[in-house]
Amino acid sequence: MVDTVTLIYGDKQIELPVLRGTEGDPAIDVSQLRARTGMITYDPSLANTGICQSQITFIDGERGILRYRGIPIEQFTAKPNFVEVVWLLIFGRLPNKEELAEFSELLTENELVHEGIKYQFQRIPVDAPPMAILSAIVTSLAFYHQQFLAVEDRESIVQAAARLISKVRTIAAFACRRSQGLPFIYPDPKLRYCANFLHMMFSIPYRQYEITPEVEDALNLLFILHADHEQNCSTSTVRLVGSARANLFASCAAGVCALWGPLHGGANVEVIQMLERIRDGGLSAEDCLRHAKDKDNPFRLYGFGHRVYRNFDPRATILKAACERVFAQMNRNDPLLDIARKLEELALADPYFVERQLYPNVDFYSGILLRAIGIPTNMFTVCFAIGRLPGWIAQWKEQHIDPTSRILRPRQVYAGPPESRYVPIDQR
Ligand code: CMC
C-alpha cells in the first residue's frame, strides 16, 4: 500500500500524501497542492473529491454496501425504529434504553410548533408546493428558537436537534392538511414518532386514525432507509452552508431546497408520475426506455442510476421486498408495483442501462410504499426530508465541532473573456 503518490510536472516533482479510510479506501491529499505548485485540481461535479473525513456513513458503491456508524443497513429492518437510528447517527453509537427513552421524551416535549407558525401557514397559498413550505418554515424556526442560533456545547446541540427532528413532522403534516383544506391535527404525546406523524396526517377532529403495526413499521423503515447517505447533494449543501457557521435551522432549510430537485429527492415524485402515465396509457414502458436513452430528450428513467452505486442500491432491494410484504399484509395490490417490476426487468436487460451500470435507486420503489401508507404524491419528497434530517444534523454537528474545519470555498478555472476595457454607455 502506497503512502504517497508522486506528481511530476515539467522538470519538477512533489510527493502527495495518501490517506486511508477505515475500510482502506485511498485518497490523495491535495490540500497543499496550490501552495506547493500553484495548480488546483479540476473536478467539476466533485465525483472524485472527498470534502471531509466523516465517521457517520460508509458506502461501497461497487458492492452495494451501506452502513450507519458501521452497522449494515439491512440490520435495521427487522424491527425498524427510526428514533433509535436518529440517536445513532447524531450521537455516534446505539442508545441504551434510558438514553432512548430520554430522547423520545424530549421529542414529545417539543412536538408542538409555536402558534406564530400556525398563522404563517394561513398566509401560504393553498396550492403551494410542500417542499417550499418546509424550507420556509424550517428557516423560520430560527424566529422562535433564537437561543440555538449559536450552539457550542453538546447539550444545546441535543436540544436544537430534538426540536428540529420533532417539529419537522408537525410542520410536514400541517403543510399537507393546509393543501387539502383540512383542519390541523395537534400531535398526541401518547404516540410514538411515526404513529404521531400518521395521526397528524390522517386523523380528523371527530375520528382518530387507526394505526396498524404494518403501516407504522413501513414508515419507520422508509425514514431509516433515507436517514443518511454520506456526501450526497443535499448533505453537502448543509455542510457548505454550515461551514460559514450558519445556524442549524438555516443549514437544514438549504438541505431541503437541494433535496427538492428531481435528480435528487424529487425523483420519488417523478417515478410515480411516470408509472401513472404508463398505467393510464399515455406512455408505454418501452417508450420510457427509448426516451431515457435519447440524448436529445431531457427525459430520464427516474429512480434509476446513482453516482456512487455501480452494482445495486441496497435501499432499493429492501424497499422492493417491503412493498411486496406490506401489500400482502394489507391484502391489497397496486398496479404501479407491477408496472415498476416490468420496467425494472426491461431496463436491466437493456444494453444502455447494463453498460452504464444503472440500477434502481431508493426512489424507484419508495413512492409505491408511501402510496400504500396513504401519503399523497406531493408529500413524497417531504417524507424523504423527514427521513434525511438526522443525517443532515449529524453531518452539520460533525463539521461544527471539528476544530480543523474551515469555510468551504471551492476554486474555479476561469474561462471568460480576458481583461478588457469598460466602455461608457453612450459609446456602446
Ligand atoms: N436515465 C437515463 N440515463 C441515465 C440515467 C437515467 N436515470 N442515469 C444516468 N444516465 C446516463 C447518463 O446520461 C450518462 O450517460 P452517458 O455516459 O451516455 O453520458 C451515464 O448514464 C452515466 O451517468 P452517471 O455519471 O452515472 O450519472 P450521474 O452521476 O451524473 O447522475 C443521477 C446520477 C442519480 C443524477 C442520475 O443517474 C439520474 O439522473 N437518475 C434519475 C434521477 C434519480 O433517480 N435520482 C435519484 C437518485 S438516488 C436518491 C437521491 O440521491 O435522492
pLDDT in tens, 268-287: 999 999 999 999 988 899 99
DSSP strand pairing (12-20 vs 26-28): antiparallel
Report CA-CA distances (Å) from 33 to 29, 30, 40, 127, 203: 8, 5, 7, 50, 59
- 3-state DSSP assignment of residue 107: helix
Q: Is the shortest distance between the CB of 288 and ligand 1 below 6 Å?
A: no
The total of other beta-carbon atoms located within 10 Å of residue 299's CB is 15
**How far is residue 273's CA from residue 378's CA, in Å, rounded to a whole number?**
11
pLDDT at 90: 97
Q: Tell me if 359 sits within 8 A of 348, measured CB to CB.
A: yes
Report the separation in Å between the CA atom of 421 and the middle of ligand 1, taken as the mean of its atom positions.
Answer: 43
What is the distance of C-alpha 422 from the center of its chain? 45
Q: Identify the pLDDT of residue 1.
A: 74
* Residue 258 backbone phi and psi in degrees, to 5: -65, -40
Cα 359 to ligand 1 centre (Å): 10
Interatomic CA distance for residues 323 and 333, integer angstroms? 10
Cβ count within 10 A of residue 328: 11
Q: How many CA atoms lie within 13 A of 5 on its CB side?
A: 12
- Stretches where the chain sits below pLDDT 50 are none
How many angstroms does the Cα of residue 393 sit away from the middle of ligand 1?
27
Closest approach atom of ligand 1 to CA 232: 51
Question: What number does the ligand 1 atom closest to the CA of 47 have?
Answer: 29
Q: In the structure grid, which three cell numbers stand for residue 345, read together?
A: 426487468
Tell me the three cell numbers of residue 20.
486511508
272, 279 Cβ separation under 8 angstroms? no
Q: Say how far apart CA 312 and CA 131 lie, in whole Å.
A: 28
The pLDDT of residue 152 is 82
Catalytic residue at 291?
Answer: no
pLDDT at 318: 97
Rounded CA gap, 50 and 4, in Å?
17
- Residues 181-221 have pLDDT tens digits of 899 999 999 999 999 999 999 999 999 999 999 999 999 99
**Ligand 1 probe mutation, 300, 302, 366, most atoms within 8 A of CB:** 300
Is there an atom of ligand 1 within 6 Å of 59 CB? no
The single-letter DSSP state of residue 377 is: G
Tell whether the torsion through CA atoms of 53, 56, 61 and 67 is positive or negative: positive
Indicate whether this model's pTM tops 0.85.
yes
Q: Which residues lie below 8 Å from residue 227, measured CB to CB, with a gap of 6+?
A: 68, 82, 85, 86, 89, 387, 388, 390, 391
